[in-house]
Amino acid sequence: MKKNNGFREPLTDTQLLMTITICIFIAMYGLAMIFLQGGFLHVQQVFDLLNDNASLIIVSCGLTIVMIGGGIDISVGAVTSLTVMSCVLYLNNGGSIFGSILLALGIGLAFGIIQGALISYLEIQPFIVTLAGMFFARGFTTILSVNPQKVDHEAFNKLRETKIEIDWLGYTAKNGTRIPGRMELGVIVALVIVVLVFILLQYFKPGREFYAIGGNQTSALMLGINVKRTRFLSYVICGLLSGISGYVFMMHTGAGNATNAAGMEMNAIASSIIGGTLLTGGVGNVAGTFFGTMTLTTIKKIVVASGLNDPWWQSITTGGMLCFFILLQSVVLSRREKKKKAS
């Protein structure tokens, strides 16, 4: 916040919703530490959340860019799954790690370019285009292999098993053994992408243009913004991040399956909304999306730690949280709109 004549400027809608999400995450995790204790008392619990959800964080970043621009992409989970299966089979058939990375990037870019072109230049509804992309990717994944495939590549498995150990963030087990905090390489990739997307959205021209076309397309055109090109770029970036997400997912699981990343697109949308991104566009922040993902995954951990192990409890809790955040966004933004009109 900048000061203006001794007064602080009010938070923007994006900053306000992001701040609310961060506060709720901190409060929720703090209450879990107090009442549930267990693993929540160790930093490793946070590392485990990051290890298990690095690919979701990456996909959510891509989806946030698209949603800020007023679009939607429900193919991201299927593209992630296709990337995983393709790279597993490639590695198992004598491929190199570098080649598998290029394959992952190529698959993501291909979907981003094709879907972005259809949506931006042919003006087909994003939901229809990405729905078709989702069906195509899921179907092609099944064609590649119906059965689960484990990565059988020595060099890749050594890379996958590499962990970043931070001793001072570890804990001492009951038997006296010191267990350092362990973080996977995929988490580093996810955090770097969060920082890069944040910088893109806040400090570079394309980022400002995403907000402009999502907020008001007519105004964006009057400002000389190439709306079609900007929207196309948002889908290309989203597709690229889906490919990277697939590779990170494979590094975490070490296997491919036709049902990999099932429902990831819904979790990514939920994470973006919880993080303060509006489906109507023009409002959102990738830092909020990161904490939205952490909030979504933490509440699932809390549900399990509370003894509610049946999967439907997690779905019910996720749905309830999503409704709460949508209602909260609506109330906050409507109150701010009334104050603007009154002033």
pLDDT of residue 86: 97
Average pLDDT, rounded, for the chain: 90
Q: Which of 2-11, 60-69, 76-85 has the lowest mean pLDDT?
A: 2-11
If pLDDT is split at 50, 70 and 90, which confidence band does 93 have? very high
* Average pLDDT over every residue of 142-148: 91
> What's the pLDDT score for residue 193?
98
Single pTM value for the model = 0.93
pLDDT on residue 324:
85
For residue 102, with 0-12 CB atoms within 10 Å meaning exposed, 13-18 middle and 19 or more buried, which class applies? middle
Other beta carbons within 10 Å of 64 = 33
The pLDDT, as a whole number, for residue 314 is: 81
Quote the pLDDT of residue 337.
72
Give residue 101's pLDDT band: very low, low, confident or very high (50, 70, 90).
Answer: very high
Give which of 272, 244, 248 is closest to 109, Cα–Cα. Answer: 244
Query: Hey, is 169 helix, strand or coil?
Result: strand
Mean pLDDT of the region 239-243: 97
Question: 10 Å Cβ neighbour count for 136?
Answer: 16
Among the ranges given (18-27, 47-56, 97-106), the one the predictor scored with the smallest mean pLDDT: 18-27
Q: In this model, does residue 7 exceed pLDDT 60?
A: no
Q: Could you tell me if 260 and 85 are in contact, meaning their C-beta atoms sit under 8 angstroms apart?
A: yes
Q: Lowest-confidence range among 62-66, 139-143, 296-300, 334-338?
A: 334-338
Q: Which secondary-structure segment (H or E) carries 182?
A: strand 178-184
As a residue count, the chain comes to 343
Distance CA 257, CA 28 (A): 33
Q: Tell me, what's the pLDDT at 154? A: 94
What value does the mean pLDDT take over residues 77-102? 96
What's the mean pLDDT in 276-289? 90
Which has the closest alpha carbon to 286: 191, 219, 186? 191
- CB contact at 8 A, 101 and 185: no
Residue spans per domain, the chain: 39-328
Return the CATH fold of 39-328: ABC transporter involved in vitamin B12 uptake, BtuC (1.10.3470)
Give the model's pLDDT for residue 38.
74
Is the pLDDT at 3 greater than 60? The verdict is no
- 53 touches 293 (CB < 8 A): yes
Rounded Cα–Cα distance for residues 4 and 196 (Å): 30
- Judge whether residue 55 has pLDDT over 90: yes
Q: Which residues contact 83 (CB under 8 A, 6 or more apart)?
A: 103, 104, 107, 108, 242, 243, 245, 246, 247, 249, 250
Q: Quick one: what percent of the chain has pLDDT higher than 70?
A: 96
Residue 240: pLDDT band (50, 70, 90) is very high
What is the spatial distance between Cα 209 and Cα 227, in angstroms, rounded to a whole number? 8
